[in-house]
Each structure stands twice: as structure tokens, then as C-alpha cells.
Amino acid sequence: MADEESLISTALADLDTAAEILNLDPSCHAVLRHPQRTLTVSVPVRMDDETIRVFTGHRVHHSYVRGPSKGGIRYHPSVTLDETTALAMIMTWKCAVVDIPLGGAKGGIVCNPKSMSLGELERMTRRYIFMIMPLIGPEQDIPAPDIYTDAQTMAWIMDTYSMFKGYSVPGVVTGKPVNIGGTLGRKAATGRGCMFVVLEALKHLGMRRKGSTVAIQGYGNVGSNVACFLQEKGLKLIAASDSRGGVMNLKGLDARKLVSHKEKTGTVVGYKASKEISNEELLELDCDVLIPAAIENVITRRNAANIKARILAEAANGPVTAQANRILDESGIFVLPDILANTGGVTVSYFEWVQDIASHFWTEEDVNIKLENVIMKAFKEVVENSKKHELNMRLGALVLAVDRVAAAFITRGLFP
């Protein structure tokens, strides 16, 4: 039985709550509780020392009712099938919240990428893609980057798939380098999308942009981009962290210089004019906007009551457990849920897939404008849905998403 605080139990509890609010048909509810497909594979890799190591990989399709499934591939020692399934389910809701015609998937390999050479990572990626080949394709399931996978990983995926097809298939994967069919604007898209919802939330709550304080856990791709964008809009970054620790300065940290420091040293720790704080302390800082942008389950029933932020924007997937959700709600914290706050990435991934299929590429400005339109529309619809059902933003977003997926399922009917 899944642990009470695990991501899968949180995801299922969320779905059950939405089903109750919507008075969802029990059969449809049962269908949505299960992934449509899961595949676990062995990935033998020749290591640099000539030994062969066997890694375990997963690919899960939660739902392809509204279109091909889509979701990232994660390389991390803590990857499990349960976690991958939960993340695939979250992807289904995410695509539905922003109303793009895709379903939800996720993949991962249990490994420690930090201890592997580039050659080992390439051989592992190519073998994993070969093993999950029956499940992926531009009309079927389109992977993307996630924790510790990047544009280079996506290039290897595109190349491996294309080699087996005998021709180039850029639409099999998104988050690729631009010179092989990637889109402009993808790298910063999740951070940009998160910035739009934070700015809308400030407006919605009648808070000022200028000087509002921000703390960010996880100064990686998403965390550092959202920090830079919010700083450009007048907000003040007061703390940031990564897996090695955190830094803070109540007078403000320079988000861009902090990026350069992390690029040079591999961590935010040691940044000048800052004092060190732990990841736990960062989450409990007195700030206007808290952005967990690292990993899941960092806000639990143990620390939820200590969160002092007015707005909590979930840039990471599932950073708050189900029990912690209830505590945050009681404290009146305005939570921007992951299925709204980090949809910038999947939205621009969708744009990349569209451009690949059409073989017609847009300017970065086009991409950013279209992204803003999609995210602003989603924010407005979530606010309206929350008001209609008298729910907080998390449930408002979830109910909107589940309703859309359930409606598609009911319209299509059950095969056979």
C-alpha cells in the first residue's frame, strides 16, 4: 500500500476529491484512477570501465483520451513506478488545464546521472529509447526533458528513434536543440509561465509587484528562470537554494549574477553578500511568494504550518503533500498548483510538436505571445471555476481538468 505522503497517494486523493465535487460517474472515475499503459524495462549499459550495468526504466501513459500523451523523462536514484505513474497523471491534468490536445505520460530511469560520464548517459538513453520504442512516436507519446535530462538527451532520443525509422522524426520528442527541430523559447518556458501566474495572482490578491519578496527552492532551469523574470518585473529575490544548500539576503540577491555563480561553481552556496540557509529554513521564510522548484513532497504535514508566504507557486511537480495542502488551505495561503503554475513547459512543448509536424517554425516572440495567451486564459478559467464551485485554486484547477478529460472519455465512449 502506498505511503500516506507519497506522490501517488496524493495524486489519487486529489482525483477522488475532484470526482466527488463533480459527482463523476463511478465508472469514469475508476478509469481515470488507472494509467492506460505502463512499461518497465531493463536497460543494460556498457560503462566506461567495460563492465555492464543494468538500469531499470519506466514509461507510463496515464491518458491519451484527449490526444497523444506527453511528459518528461527523469534520471534520478529515487525514480519508482509509483512516482512515474503519479507524474503521468499530473501531466494529464496539466494538459487539460491549459486545454491543449494532449494526454499525460511520464518516464524515468533509476540512476545517478551525476556519477555517470556523458558517454554512459548517451548509451543509457539510446538503449532506454530502443526499449520503450513501441510506446513512443509523434502520434502516440512525445517525451520531453525533466530532472537531469536536457536538450542533449532529447537530441539522442530523436536520433535513436529516427535511425530505426530510417528518416528524421523531430516530432517524437520536444525540448530538442533548435538546430534539429526544437522551438525557440522552450528552455525558459516553464519559468516564464510560472512568472505569468505569479503576476496574475499578485493582481488578483491586490498585492504590489514592486518589492514583493520571493524565495525559490531549486535554482535549476525552472527556478533560476522564474527568478530572473520576476526580478525584471520588480519583485525581489531574497533566497534561493539547490541540492547543496541555500543562500539569502533580505536586501535582495541579483538573480542573474546568482545564475553565473551557479554556472561557475555548480551551486548557489558561497554567493557573495549572502548568508547560508538550509532548504528547510528557506521554505519557512517570511516572504510574499514561495516557489518550490526542485522536487516533490518538500512541504509535508511536518512543516506546512510553518509556511509564512502569502502566495505559494508550485513550479516543481507535487511539492506539497495532501495533508500539507489542507494545512496551507487553513492558513489562507494562495496556492498556485503545479498543474497551472508549471504548464509553461508543456505548452511550449506542444508548440514545438505543432511546428515539427508542420515543418514551419515560429519566432521567439510568436512563441512567447502564444504562451502568454494560453497561460492567462487558463489562469482566468481556473479562477472562474474556483468561484463557481467555491474551491481554492488547487481544487479549481483540478476540477476543471478532470471535467475536461472525463467529458472527452464520455464523448468517445468505451471500446469495445
Q: How far is the CB of 166 from ligand NAD (least distance, A)?
A: 30
Q: Which is nearer to ligand NAD, 116 or 147 (CB)?
A: 147
Nearer to ligand NAD by Cβ, of 263 and 390: the residue is: 263
Q: How far is CA 72 from CA 112, 209, 222, 258, 305, in A?
A: 17, 32, 14, 27, 32
User: Per-residue DSSP letters for 123-134?
Assistant: HHHHHHHHHHGG
Euclidean distance between CA atoms 238 and 258, whole angstroms: 11
Q: How far is the CB of 221 from ligand NAD (least distance, A)?
A: 4
Given the complex with ligand NAD, which of 93 and 219 has the nearer CB atom? 219
Catalytic: which of 94, 106, 187, 236? 106
Q: In residues, how long is the chain? A: 416
Residues that bind ligand NAD (CB under 6 A): 145-148, 190, 217-223, 241-243, 279, 293-295, 315-317, 342, 345
| Residue among 180, 3, 15, 162 at smallest CA distance from 82 | 3
CB of 300 vs ligand NAD, minimal distance in Å: 13
CA dihedral for 163, 165, 167, 170, sign (positive or negative): negative
Cβ atoms of 237 and 225 within 8 Å: the answer is no
106 assigned to active site: yes
Using omega within 30 degrees of 0 as the cis cutoff, is the peptide bond preceding 145 cis?
no
Question: Which residues sit opposite 63 in a β-bridge?
Answer: 104
As measured in angstroms, the least distance from the Cβ of 389 to ligand NAD is: 26
Least Å from the CB of residue 245 to ligand NAD: 8
| CB atoms closer than 10 angstroms to residue 283 | 26
Q: Name residues whose C-beta falls within 8 Å of residue 153's C-beta, 6 or more positions apart in sequence.
A: 73, 75, 121, 125, 145
Which stretches of 98-221 are assigned E, i.e. beta strand? 103-110, 141-145, 213-217
Q: 379 and 99 in contact (C-beta within 8 Å)?
A: no
**In the complex, minimum distance from the CB of residue 76 to ligand NAD, in angstroms, rounded to a whole number:** 9
Number of other residues whose CB lies within 10 A of the CB of residue 112: 12
Q: Is the C-alpha dihedral spanning 404, 407, 411, 414 positive or negative?
A: positive
CB closer to ligand NAD out of 185 and 345: 345
| Residues noted as catalytic | 106
